[in-house]
Amino acid sequence: MRKIIVKHHGFILMVCLLVTACGAPETKKEVKSSKSGLKSAGTKPETTFIELDRNALETLTKSDEIRIYADDDSAFIFTLNIRRVDEAIKGIRSISAYVDDSETGQAVLILRKGRLSGYMDLYSRNKKYRLAYQTTSGRYFLQEVNKDSLDILEGGEPLAPRPQP
């Protein structure tokens, strides 16, 4: 009698494994993700490869300019007018700049290991761009950010009024 019970448990275990293995196939949900969180469902952000003076990046100071050109036809795109350069952590410099002028937009950038990255907000055009370095091609690019995909809290009135000209 004892042998039958052991065989019976082995049979039940084998049936459970068979049912599990041959059951309805599981459907995997494909999750598309982006490190930057910039992609929206079904659309690919517009990307433009750019050129900038890489040698000037290491010596940037307040009041300097970074000129950005389109890589494909060397057409001038933007001038970043440097407002502030800080190095709170050794080897990592944070850069704040106006895009063209204070009315066009602002850029918040980081320079780390000789590579520039960050965001440019062109509020005069209601556009936002990510500036980054592509290691596979060794080139910089601007990628338009879908503002609808960002989780932004509404702000209030400025703490200090803007000076009148």
Question: 86, 108 in Cβ contact below 8 A?
Answer: no
Output the pLDDT for position 78: 87
The number of folded domains in the chain is 1
| Residue 95 identity | I
84 beta partners: 96
Output the pLDDT for position 53: 85
* Interval 55-71: pLDDT, tens: 888 888 999 998 888 87
86 beta partners: 94
- CA–CA separation, 136 and 134 (whole Å): 6
78 beta partners: 68
61 within a domain of the structure (yes/no): yes
| Residue 107 identity | A
Q: Average pLDDT of 99-105?
A: 90
* Phi and psi torsions of 64, nearest 5°: -75, 165
Domain encompassing residue 120: 47-148
The residue with tokens 């850029």 is 107
98 within a domain of the structure (yes/no): yes
